[in-house]
Structure 1
Amino acid sequence: MNAVTLIAFFITVATAAWLVWRSARRTKPVTAAGLFFGNRDLGFVAVGCGLIFANINTTSFIGENELTFTNNMSVMAWGVTSVVVMMVVAEFILPIYLKTGISTTPDFLEMRYDRQTKTFVSLIFLLNYIVNLLPSVLYGAAVALEGLFGVSELTGLGYWPTIWLLVAVMGALGTLFSLRGGLKGMTVSGTMLGLAMFTGGLLLPYFALRHLGLGNWQTGLETVLTTETYRLNAIGGPHDAIPFGTIFTGMLLVNLYYWSTEQYIVQQALGSRDLASCQKGMALAGLGKLVLPLLLNVPGIVAAHIYGSLPHSASVFSTLIRDVAPPVYTGFMAALLAGASLTTFIAGINSSATLYVLNLRKGAPGGMRTARRFEVLLCASAVCIAPFIHFTQGGLYTWLQKVGALFSVPIFTIMVVGFLTRRVPALAAKVGLAFFIACYAMSQFVVDVGMHFLHVLAILFVVTVLLMLAIGKWRPREAAFVLQWNNLVEVTPWKWRYLAMGLLIALVIGLYVVFSPLGLAR
Structure 2
Amino acid sequence: MNWIIASSFLLFIGSVAFISLYNSRRKKADTLNRFFLADRKLAFFQVGCGLLFTNINTSTIIGENELVYTHNMTVMAWGVTSVLAMLLVSEFIMPMYIRLGISTTPDFLTARYDRSVGKIVSMIFLFGYIINLLPSVLYSGALAMNGLFNFSAAFNVDYSTSIWILVWILGSAGCLFTMLGGLKATTISEMLLGMGLFAGGLMLPVFGLKYLGHGSIQQGIHVLLTNHKDHFNSIGSSSDPIPFGTLFTGMLLVNLYYWGTEQYIVQQALASKNLKTCQKGIAVACLGKLISPLFLCVPGLIAVHVFAGMQNPAEVFPMLNRLVSPPIISGFIAAIIFGAALTTFNAGLNSSSTLFILNIYKPWLEKRSQIVPEKRLIWSAKLFQIIVCLIAIMIAPLIILVKHGFYTYVQTVNGFFNVPIFTIMFIGLVTRKVPPLAAKIGLTFFIVSYGLTQLVFNIHIHFLHILAILFVITCGIMLLIGKLYPMSVPYQLKTNNLVDLEQWENRHFYTGILILLMILVFVVFSPLVLVK
Instruction: Please classify the TM superposition score into its range, dividing by the shorter chain length.
Output: over 0.9
Question: What does 1:300-319 align with in structure 2 at a 5 Å threshold?
Answer: 300-319=300-319
CA displacement, residues 51-85 of structure 1 (integer Å, 9 cap, x when unaligned): 00110111111100000001111110000000011
- Is 1:469 equivalent to 2:460 in the alignment? no
Matches within 5 A, 1:10-21: 10-21=10-21
Contact 1:64 1:296 in 2 (8 A): yes
Structure-to-structure mapping, 1:324-473, within 5 angstroms: 324-363=324-363, 364=365, 365=372, 366-473=376-483
Residue of structure 1 equivalent to 2:146:
146
Distance 2:391 2:27 in 1: 29
Q: Distance in 2 between matches of 1:486 and 1:328?
A: 51
1:115-130 map, 5 Å: 115-130=115-130
SS at match of 1:251: helix
Q: Secondary structure at the match of 2:309?
A: coil
Residue in structure 2 matched with residue 73 of structure 1 by the alignment: 73
Residue 293 of structure 2 aligns to which amino acid in structure 1? P
Relative to the length of structure 2, the TM-score reads 0.97
Aligned partners of 1:28 and 1:180 also within 8 Å: no
Q: Aligned partners of 1:424 and 1:104: how far apart in 2?
A: 21
- Check the 8 A contact 1:27/1:184 in 2, yes or no: no
CA distance in 2, matches of 1:369, 1:114: 28
Please give the per-residue CA displacement for 1:312-368, whole angstroms capped at 9, x wherever unaligned: 111111111111111111111110000011000010000000000000012532211
Counterparts of 1:150-189 in structure 2 under 5 Å? 150-189=150-189
Residue type at the aligned position of 1:255: N
The CA deviation at 1:117 is 0.5
Q: Which amino acid counterpart does residue 250 of structure 2 have in structure 1?
A: G
Secondary structure of the structure 2 residue equivalent to 1:96: helix
8 Å CA contact retained: 1:428, 1:471: yes
Counterpart Cα distance in 1 of 2:133 and 2:22: 28
Aligned with 2:416: secondary structure? helix
Aligned to 2:368: none
Q: 2:442 & 2:119 partners in 1: Cα distance?
A: 15
Identity of aligned residues (%): 51
Distance in 2 between the 1:10 and 1:284 partners? 29
Measured against aligned partners, the alpha-carbon deviations of 1:222-275 in whole angstroms (never above 9, x if no partner) come to 111112211111111111121000000000000000000000000000000000
1:27–1:181 Cα contact (<8 Å) kept? no
- The equivalent residue for 2:295 is 295
Q: Deviations over 1:23-54 (max 9, x none)?
A: 12212201000010000000001000000011
Aligned to 2:511: 501
Q: Report deviation, 1:201.
A: 2.5
RMSD: 0.8
Distance of 2:37 and 2:466 partners within structure 1 = 35
User: What's 1:104 paired with?
Assistant: 104
Return the alpha-carbon distance in structure 2 between the equivalents of residues 288 and 421 of structure 1. 34
Secondary structure of 1:504's counterpart equals helix
Q: TM-score with structure 1 length normalisation?
A: 0.99
CA contact (8 A) 2:201 2:294 kept: no
Q: How far, CA to CA, are the matches of 1:338 and 1:27 in structure 2?
A: 26
Separation in structure 1 between the aligned mates of residue 59 and residue 207 of structure 2, nearest angstrom = 22
- Equivalent runs, 1:52-71 vs 2, <5 Å: 52-71=52-71
Long gaps (5+) in structure 1: none
- Give the SS at the match of 2:161: helix
Report the equivalent of 2:261.
261
> What is the CA–CA distance in structure 1 between the aligned matches of 2:309 and 2:493, rounded to whole Å?
56
Gap regions ≥5 residues in structure 2: 366-371
TM-aligned CA deviation for residue 405 of structure 1? 1.2
Correspondence for 2:26:
26
Supply the distance in 1 between the matched residues of 2:285 and 2:500 (Cα, whole angstroms): 21
Worse-superposed segment, 17-26 or 174-183: 17-26
Residue 308 of structure 1 and its aligned partner are, at CA, apart by: 2.9
Q: Deviations over 1:372-427 (max 9, x none)?
A: 11011111111111000000111111000000111111000000000001111100
